[in-house]
Amino acid sequence: MKNLFDYTLSSLTRHGLKNIVIIVIFGFLVFLLSSVIMITNSLALEYKTISKDFPDLLVQKRYGAKTYLISQKDVEPYWKMAGISSIEGRIWGQYYFERQQIYTSIFGIKSFVDYYQKEIKDIAEKLDNSSSGPLMITSQSILDFFEEDIETYDGSLPFFTPQNSMIRVGIGGVFKLKHSLENNDLILLDEDIAREILGIEKGYYADFVMRVSNPNEADFIADKIRLFDPTLKVITKKQMLQSYQVLYDYKSGWFLMLLIISFVSFSIILYDKASGLRSEEKKEIGILKALGWEISHIINYKLMESLILSMFAFTIGISLAMFFVYFLQAPGLKYVFSGYSELKQPFELIFSFDFKAIALIFFITIPLYVAVCIMPAWKIATMDSAEVLR
Protein backbone atom coordinates (compact mmCIF):
# COMPACT_ATOMS: atom_id res chain seq x y z
CA MET A 1 0.00 0.00 0.00
CA LYS A 2 2.88 2.32 0.84
CA ASN A 3 4.41 1.65 -2.57
CA LEU A 4 1.08 2.46 -4.19
CA PHE A 5 0.87 5.73 -2.26
CA ASP A 6 4.45 6.63 -3.19
CA TYR A 7 3.75 5.90 -6.85
CA THR A 8 0.59 8.09 -6.69
CA LEU A 9 2.59 10.99 -5.29
CA SER A 10 5.25 10.63 -7.95
CA SER A 11 2.51 10.50 -10.62
CA LEU A 12 1.04 13.75 -9.31
CA THR A 13 4.48 15.35 -9.52
CA ARG A 14 5.09 14.08 -13.04
CA HIS A 15 1.87 15.67 -14.30
CA GLY A 16 2.41 18.82 -12.24
CA LEU A 17 1.17 21.47 -14.68
CA LYS A 18 -1.98 19.53 -15.63
CA ASN A 19 -2.80 18.90 -11.98
CA ILE A 20 -2.22 22.55 -11.03
CA VAL A 21 -4.75 23.63 -13.68
CA ILE A 22 -7.29 21.13 -12.31
CA ILE A 23 -6.71 22.33 -8.73
CA VAL A 24 -7.11 25.99 -9.77
CA ILE A 25 -10.40 25.39 -11.64
CA PHE A 26 -11.78 22.99 -9.04
CA GLY A 27 -10.73 25.27 -6.17
CA PHE A 28 -12.25 28.33 -7.88
CA LEU A 29 -15.55 26.50 -8.28
CA VAL A 30 -15.63 25.56 -4.58
CA PHE A 31 -14.49 29.06 -3.60
CA LEU A 32 -17.25 30.72 -5.62
CA LEU A 33 -20.05 28.47 -4.41
CA SER A 34 -18.86 28.60 -0.79
CA SER A 35 -18.50 32.40 -0.86
CA VAL A 36 -22.05 32.84 -2.13
CA ILE A 37 -23.43 30.46 0.48
CA MET A 38 -21.48 32.10 3.31
CA ILE A 39 -22.60 35.61 2.29
CA THR A 40 -26.26 34.65 1.97
CA ASN A 41 -26.15 32.74 5.27
CA SER A 42 -24.59 35.70 7.02
CA LEU A 43 -27.21 38.11 5.62
CA ALA A 44 -30.00 35.66 6.45
CA LEU A 45 -28.76 35.43 10.03
CA GLU A 46 -28.61 39.24 10.26
CA TYR A 47 -32.17 39.63 8.96
CA LYS A 48 -33.39 36.86 11.22
CA THR A 49 -32.02 38.87 14.14
CA ILE A 50 -33.58 42.09 12.81
CA SER A 51 -36.92 40.32 12.37
CA LYS A 52 -37.31 40.15 16.14
CA ASP A 53 -38.15 43.86 15.94
CA PHE A 54 -40.73 43.39 13.18
CA PRO A 55 -44.37 44.05 14.12
CA ASP A 56 -46.72 41.10 14.44
CA LEU A 57 -49.02 42.58 11.77
CA LEU A 58 -48.53 45.36 9.24
CA VAL A 59 -51.74 46.84 7.79
CA GLN A 60 -51.86 48.94 4.62
CA LYS A 61 -54.67 50.35 2.49
CA ARG A 62 -54.30 48.76 -0.92
CA TYR A 63 -56.61 48.28 -3.87
CA GLY A 64 -56.25 48.50 -7.66
CA ALA A 65 -52.56 47.52 -7.28
CA LYS A 66 -51.86 50.83 -5.51
CA THR A 67 -51.18 51.64 -1.88
CA TYR A 68 -53.08 54.56 -0.32
CA LEU A 69 -52.93 56.41 2.96
CA ILE A 70 -54.99 54.73 5.63
CA SER A 71 -57.19 56.67 8.03
CA GLN A 72 -57.62 56.20 11.75
CA LYS A 73 -61.27 55.29 11.14
CA ASP A 74 -60.27 52.31 8.98
CA VAL A 75 -58.65 50.53 11.92
CA GLU A 76 -60.92 51.63 14.78
CA PRO A 77 -63.13 48.49 14.53
CA TYR A 78 -60.13 46.29 15.26
CA TRP A 79 -59.57 47.69 18.72
CA LYS A 80 -62.42 45.43 19.79
CA MET A 81 -61.12 42.36 17.95
CA ALA A 82 -60.01 39.61 20.32
CA GLY A 83 -56.27 38.97 20.26
CA ILE A 84 -55.13 42.46 19.23
CA SER A 85 -53.33 44.22 22.09
CA SER A 86 -52.22 47.48 20.43
CA ILE A 87 -52.52 49.46 17.19
CA GLU A 88 -50.12 52.24 16.18
CA GLY A 89 -50.15 54.39 13.05
CA ARG A 90 -46.86 55.17 11.35
CA ILE A 91 -45.80 58.23 9.38
CA TRP A 92 -43.09 57.36 6.92
CA GLY A 93 -42.25 57.57 3.24
CA GLN A 94 -39.59 58.04 0.63
CA TYR A 95 -38.26 61.55 0.01
CA TYR A 96 -36.40 62.36 -3.20
CA PHE A 97 -33.64 64.96 -3.24
CA GLU A 98 -33.86 66.27 -6.78
CA ARG A 99 -30.43 67.90 -7.05
CA GLN A 100 -28.57 64.94 -5.57
CA GLN A 101 -30.89 62.43 -7.30
CA ILE A 102 -31.14 60.18 -4.29
CA TYR A 103 -33.96 58.73 -2.20
CA THR A 104 -34.03 58.78 1.59
CA SER A 105 -36.55 57.30 4.04
CA ILE A 106 -38.32 59.71 6.39
CA PHE A 107 -39.81 58.30 9.57
CA GLY A 108 -41.99 60.44 11.88
CA ILE A 109 -41.58 59.85 15.60
CA LYS A 110 -43.15 61.20 18.75
CA SER A 111 -42.73 60.56 22.43
CA PHE A 112 -44.78 58.09 24.49
CA VAL A 113 -45.18 55.71 21.57
CA ASP A 114 -44.13 52.12 22.14
CA TYR A 115 -42.06 51.58 18.99
CA TYR A 116 -40.87 48.08 18.24
CA GLN A 117 -37.25 49.20 18.19
CA LYS A 118 -36.07 50.43 21.57
CA GLU A 119 -33.43 52.69 19.97
CA ILE A 120 -36.11 54.61 18.06
CA LYS A 121 -38.24 54.86 21.20
CA ASP A 122 -35.29 56.39 23.09
CA ILE A 123 -34.57 58.82 20.25
CA ALA A 124 -38.23 59.90 20.18
CA GLU A 125 -38.07 60.83 23.85
CA LYS A 126 -34.91 62.91 23.35
CA LEU A 127 -36.14 64.57 20.16
CA ASP A 128 -39.36 65.65 21.83
CA ASN A 129 -37.42 67.43 24.57
CA SER A 130 -35.69 69.68 22.05
CA SER A 131 -36.99 73.26 21.77
CA SER A 132 -34.62 74.55 19.10
CA GLY A 133 -36.93 74.08 16.11
CA PRO A 134 -37.26 71.17 13.69
CA LEU A 135 -34.49 68.68 14.20
CA MET A 136 -33.61 65.41 12.58
CA ILE A 137 -31.66 62.42 13.81
CA THR A 138 -29.97 60.48 11.07
CA SER A 139 -27.04 58.27 10.16
CA GLN A 140 -23.48 59.45 9.61
CA SER A 141 -23.67 58.43 5.95
CA ILE A 142 -26.56 60.89 5.39
CA LEU A 143 -24.61 63.71 7.06
CA ASP A 144 -21.52 62.93 5.00
CA PHE A 145 -23.47 62.79 1.77
CA PHE A 146 -25.23 66.14 2.38
CA GLU A 147 -22.23 67.83 3.99
CA GLU A 148 -22.08 70.68 1.44
CA ASP A 149 -25.83 71.39 1.70
CA ILE A 150 -25.68 71.42 5.49
CA GLU A 151 -22.82 73.93 5.39
CA THR A 152 -24.66 76.07 2.82
CA TYR A 153 -27.83 76.22 4.96
CA ASP A 154 -26.03 76.98 8.25
CA GLY A 155 -26.19 73.52 9.75
CA SER A 156 -29.59 72.50 8.44
CA LEU A 157 -30.95 70.48 5.52
CA PRO A 158 -33.77 71.89 3.33
CA PHE A 159 -36.89 69.83 2.59
CA PHE A 160 -39.73 70.85 0.27
CA THR A 161 -43.36 70.10 0.99
CA PRO A 162 -45.90 69.14 -1.71
CA GLN A 163 -46.99 72.83 -1.61
CA ASN A 164 -43.38 73.74 -2.56
CA SER A 165 -42.62 75.50 0.71
CA MET A 166 -39.19 74.89 2.20
CA ILE A 167 -38.62 73.54 5.69
CA ARG A 168 -35.11 73.78 7.07
CA VAL A 169 -34.39 71.00 9.54
CA GLY A 170 -31.41 71.20 11.89
CA ILE A 171 -29.12 68.34 12.81
CA GLY A 172 -30.27 66.93 16.14
CA GLY A 173 -27.81 64.08 16.34
CA VAL A 174 -26.51 60.88 14.80
CA PHE A 175 -27.92 57.46 15.50
CA LYS A 176 -26.36 54.08 15.06
CA LEU A 177 -28.83 51.25 15.27
CA LYS A 178 -27.55 47.95 16.64
CA HIS A 179 -27.93 46.27 13.26
CA SER A 180 -25.59 47.86 10.73
CA LEU A 181 -27.83 47.05 7.74
CA GLU A 182 -30.46 49.45 9.09
CA ASN A 183 -28.16 52.48 9.35
CA ASN A 184 -28.43 53.68 5.78
CA ASP A 185 -30.92 56.17 4.41
CA LEU A 186 -33.17 56.67 7.43
CA ILE A 187 -34.02 60.18 8.68
CA LEU A 188 -35.98 60.47 11.94
CA LEU A 189 -38.12 63.59 12.29
CA ASP A 190 -40.80 64.86 14.60
CA GLU A 191 -44.10 63.35 13.41
CA ASP A 192 -45.71 66.71 12.61
CA ILE A 193 -42.73 67.80 10.50
CA ALA A 194 -42.71 64.44 8.73
CA ARG A 195 -46.43 64.91 7.93
CA GLU A 196 -45.73 68.32 6.35
CA ILE A 197 -42.84 67.07 4.24
CA LEU A 198 -44.61 63.90 3.07
CA GLY A 199 -48.00 65.60 2.65
CA ILE A 200 -49.90 63.35 5.05
CA GLU A 201 -52.91 65.02 6.66
CA LYS A 202 -53.92 64.64 10.28
CA GLY A 203 -55.91 61.46 10.88
CA TYR A 204 -54.12 59.59 8.09
CA TYR A 205 -51.07 57.31 8.26
CA ALA A 206 -48.78 55.45 5.87
CA ASP A 207 -49.67 52.19 7.60
CA PHE A 208 -50.53 50.66 10.96
CA VAL A 209 -48.66 48.11 13.04
CA MET A 210 -50.51 45.77 15.37
CA ARG A 211 -49.42 43.67 18.31
CA VAL A 212 -51.21 40.44 18.98
CA SER A 213 -51.43 38.83 22.40
CA ASN A 214 -50.52 35.39 21.10
CA PRO A 215 -48.09 35.45 18.13
CA ASN A 216 -49.28 31.97 17.12
CA GLU A 217 -52.66 33.53 16.26
CA ALA A 218 -51.19 36.20 13.94
CA ASP A 219 -52.18 34.36 10.73
CA PHE A 220 -55.72 33.76 12.02
CA ILE A 221 -56.20 37.40 13.02
CA ALA A 222 -54.74 38.57 9.69
CA ASP A 223 -57.33 36.45 7.83
CA LYS A 224 -60.14 37.90 9.95
CA ILE A 225 -59.06 41.46 9.10
CA ARG A 226 -58.84 40.62 5.39
CA LEU A 227 -62.35 39.18 5.45
CA PHE A 228 -63.70 42.18 7.33
CA ASP A 229 -62.19 44.73 4.92
CA PRO A 230 -60.78 43.41 1.59
CA THR A 231 -59.17 46.79 0.85
CA LEU A 232 -56.71 46.24 3.68
CA LYS A 233 -53.50 44.38 2.98
CA VAL A 234 -52.33 42.58 6.12
CA ILE A 235 -48.74 41.31 6.24
CA THR A 236 -47.59 39.04 9.06
CA LYS A 237 -44.10 38.99 10.56
CA LYS A 238 -43.42 35.65 8.88
CA GLN A 239 -44.35 37.04 5.47
CA MET A 240 -42.14 40.10 6.01
CA LEU A 241 -39.17 37.89 6.83
CA GLN A 242 -39.78 35.71 3.78
CA SER A 243 -39.91 38.79 1.54
CA TYR A 244 -36.60 40.05 2.93
CA GLN A 245 -34.94 36.70 2.42
CA VAL A 246 -36.12 36.44 -1.18
CA LEU A 247 -35.07 40.03 -1.86
CA TYR A 248 -31.58 39.78 -0.45
CA ASP A 249 -30.62 36.15 -0.88
CA TYR A 250 -31.11 35.96 -4.60
CA LYS A 251 -31.07 39.61 -5.59
CA SER A 252 -30.97 40.55 -9.26
CA GLY A 253 -30.35 37.00 -10.46
CA TRP A 254 -26.66 37.30 -9.60
CA PHE A 255 -26.83 34.17 -7.52
CA LEU A 256 -28.16 32.20 -10.47
CA MET A 257 -25.51 33.64 -12.78
CA LEU A 258 -22.69 32.70 -10.42
CA LEU A 259 -24.06 29.19 -10.12
CA ILE A 260 -24.21 28.80 -13.89
CA ILE A 261 -20.61 30.01 -14.30
CA SER A 262 -19.46 27.62 -11.60
CA PHE A 263 -21.21 24.59 -13.00
CA VAL A 264 -20.08 25.31 -16.57
CA SER A 265 -16.47 25.39 -15.32
CA PHE A 266 -16.97 22.15 -13.44
CA SER A 267 -18.68 20.51 -16.40
CA ILE A 268 -15.63 21.27 -18.56
CA ILE A 269 -13.44 19.38 -16.10
CA LEU A 270 -15.84 16.44 -15.97
CA TYR A 271 -16.18 16.31 -19.75
CA ASP A 272 -12.42 16.33 -20.17
CA LYS A 273 -12.05 13.44 -17.75
CA ALA A 274 -15.02 11.42 -18.94
CA SER A 275 -14.05 11.66 -22.62
CA GLY A 276 -11.24 9.20 -22.01
CA LEU A 277 -7.61 8.99 -21.04
CA ARG A 278 -4.81 10.60 -22.96
CA SER A 279 -2.43 8.33 -24.91
CA GLU A 280 0.32 8.74 -22.32
CA GLU A 281 -2.06 7.77 -19.53
CA LYS A 282 -3.20 4.69 -21.47
CA LYS A 283 0.43 3.78 -22.08
CA GLU A 284 1.16 4.15 -18.37
CA ILE A 285 -1.65 1.73 -17.45
CA GLY A 286 -0.47 -0.73 -20.08
CA ILE A 287 3.06 -0.67 -18.68
CA LEU A 288 1.75 -1.13 -15.12
CA LYS A 289 -0.26 -4.17 -16.22
CA ALA A 290 2.77 -5.58 -18.02
CA LEU A 291 4.72 -5.18 -14.77
CA GLY A 292 2.13 -7.27 -12.94
CA TRP A 293 -0.29 -4.72 -11.54
CA GLU A 294 -3.83 -6.01 -11.12
CA ILE A 295 -6.97 -4.13 -12.04
CA SER A 296 -7.67 -3.37 -8.37
CA HIS A 297 -4.19 -1.85 -8.01
CA ILE A 298 -4.81 0.50 -10.95
CA ILE A 299 -8.27 1.44 -9.66
CA ASN A 300 -6.82 2.17 -6.21
CA TYR A 301 -4.06 4.25 -7.77
CA LYS A 302 -6.54 6.35 -9.76
CA LEU A 303 -8.89 6.60 -6.76
CA MET A 304 -6.06 7.82 -4.54
CA GLU A 305 -4.84 10.28 -7.16
CA SER A 306 -8.29 11.81 -7.78
CA LEU A 307 -9.09 11.98 -4.05
CA ILE A 308 -5.83 13.78 -3.24
CA LEU A 309 -6.39 16.28 -6.04
CA SER A 310 -10.06 16.97 -5.32
CA MET A 311 -9.71 17.08 -1.52
CA PHE A 312 -6.74 19.42 -1.78
CA ALA A 313 -8.63 21.73 -4.17
CA PHE A 314 -11.77 21.57 -1.99
CA THR A 315 -9.83 22.48 1.16
CA ILE A 316 -8.13 25.40 -0.60
CA GLY A 317 -11.47 26.63 -2.00
CA ILE A 318 -13.23 26.52 1.38
CA SER A 319 -10.29 28.16 3.18
CA LEU A 320 -10.04 30.97 0.63
CA ALA A 321 -13.81 31.52 0.78
CA MET A 322 -13.75 31.89 4.58
CA PHE A 323 -10.81 34.29 4.36
CA PHE A 324 -12.50 36.29 1.58
CA VAL A 325 -15.92 36.51 3.24
CA TYR A 326 -15.18 36.86 6.94
CA PHE A 327 -11.71 38.43 6.99
CA LEU A 328 -11.84 40.61 3.86
CA GLN A 329 -15.64 41.06 4.17
CA ALA A 330 -16.27 39.94 0.56
CA PRO A 331 -15.31 43.21 -1.18
CA GLY A 332 -17.54 43.80 -4.21
CA LEU A 333 -19.56 40.61 -3.83
CA LYS A 334 -21.54 41.32 -0.64
CA TYR A 335 -23.22 44.40 -2.14
CA VAL A 336 -24.50 42.23 -4.98
CA PHE A 337 -26.74 40.53 -2.42
CA SER A 338 -27.40 43.32 0.08
CA GLY A 339 -27.95 46.00 -2.56
CA TYR A 340 -25.73 49.00 -3.25
CA SER A 341 -26.49 52.61 -2.43
CA GLU A 342 -24.35 55.70 -2.08
CA LEU A 343 -25.78 55.96 1.43
CA LYS A 344 -24.99 52.38 2.29
CA GLN A 345 -22.78 52.23 5.33
CA PRO A 346 -20.12 49.56 5.66
CA PHE A 347 -21.46 46.55 7.48
CA GLU A 348 -19.84 43.41 8.76
CA LEU A 349 -20.75 39.93 7.65
CA ILE A 350 -21.26 37.98 10.82
CA PHE A 351 -19.82 34.48 10.97
CA SER A 352 -22.26 31.77 9.99
CA PHE A 353 -21.07 28.32 8.94
CA ASP A 354 -23.73 26.17 7.30
CA PHE A 355 -22.33 22.64 7.55
CA LYS A 356 -25.17 21.19 5.45
CA ALA A 357 -24.52 23.57 2.56
CA ILE A 358 -20.78 22.88 2.61
CA ALA A 359 -21.50 19.15 2.74
CA LEU A 360 -23.77 19.56 -0.28
CA ILE A 361 -20.95 21.22 -2.25
CA PHE A 362 -18.67 18.39 -1.18
CA PHE A 363 -21.02 15.65 -2.40
CA ILE A 364 -21.86 17.31 -5.74
CA THR A 365 -18.23 17.88 -6.66
CA ILE A 366 -15.80 15.32 -5.21
CA PRO A 367 -17.71 12.05 -5.84
CA LEU A 368 -18.46 13.15 -9.43
CA TYR A 369 -14.85 14.04 -10.09
CA VAL A 370 -13.58 10.78 -8.59
CA ALA A 371 -16.10 8.78 -10.65
CA VAL A 372 -15.10 10.33 -13.98
CA CYS A 373 -11.42 9.67 -13.14
CA ILE A 374 -11.93 6.01 -12.28
CA MET A 375 -14.30 4.94 -15.05
CA PRO A 376 -11.95 5.50 -18.07
CA ALA A 377 -9.03 4.00 -16.10
CA TRP A 378 -11.08 0.89 -15.26
CA LYS A 379 -12.08 0.52 -18.92
CA ILE A 380 -8.42 0.58 -20.05
CA ALA A 381 -7.30 -1.64 -17.19
CA THR A 382 -9.65 -4.44 -18.28
CA MET A 383 -7.98 -4.58 -21.70
CA ASP A 384 -4.95 -6.68 -22.53
CA SER A 385 -1.71 -4.84 -21.83
CA ALA A 386 -0.26 -5.65 -25.25
CA GLU A 387 -3.32 -4.25 -26.96
CA VAL A 388 -3.11 -1.08 -24.86
CA LEU A 389 0.59 -0.58 -25.60
CA ARG A 390 -0.02 -1.00 -29.36
Closest residue by Cα to residue 120 from 200, 61, 204, 191: 191
Q: How many whole angstroms separate alpha carbon 355 and alpha carbon 41?
A: 11
Please name the residue ranges forming H helices in the chain.
2-14, 16-50, 72-75, 118-128, 140-145, 147-152, 191-198, 218-228, 237-249, 254-274, 279-290, 295-322, 334-338, 355-381, 385-389
pLDDT at 380: 77
Q: How many whole angstroms separate alpha carbon 322 and alpha carbon 281?
A: 36
pLDDT at 134: 83
pLDDT at 368: 82
pLDDT at 339: 62
Chain centroid offset of residue 326 CA: 14
pLDDT at 164: 86
Determine the 3-state secondary structure of 100 from DSSP: coil
Q: What are phi and psi of 329, to 5 degrees?
A: 65, 35
pLDDT at 294: 81
Residue 340, burial from CB neighbour count under 10 angstroms (0-12, 13-18, 19+):
exposed
Which residues is 235 bridged to in the sheet? 58
Closest residue by Cα to residue 166 from 140, 134, 138: 134
Return the domain boundaries, the chain: 1-50+248-389, 85-203
DSSP strands (E only) in 54-155? 57-63, 66-68, 70-71, 84-97, 102-109, 135-138
**First vs last Cα of the chain: how many Å apart?**
29
* pTM for this model (two decimals): 0.67
- pLDDT per residue rounded down to tens, the chain (390 residues): 667 777 777 777 777 777 788 888 888 888 888 888 888 888 778 777 777 777 888 899 888 778 889 998 888 888 888 888 888 889 988 899 888 888 888 888 887 777 767 777 777 777 765 566 788 888 888 888 888 888 888 888 899 999 888 888 888 888 776 666 665 678 888 888 999 999 999 989 999 988 888 888 889 999 999 998 888 999 888 888 777 666 655 555 566 666 677 677 667 766 666 665 667 777 777 787 777 778 888 888 888 888 888 899 999 999 999 999 888 888 877 777 666 565 555 667 878 878 888 888 888 888 888 888 888 778 777 777 677 666
Q: How many whole angstroms separate alpha carbon 340 and alpha carbon 334?
A: 9
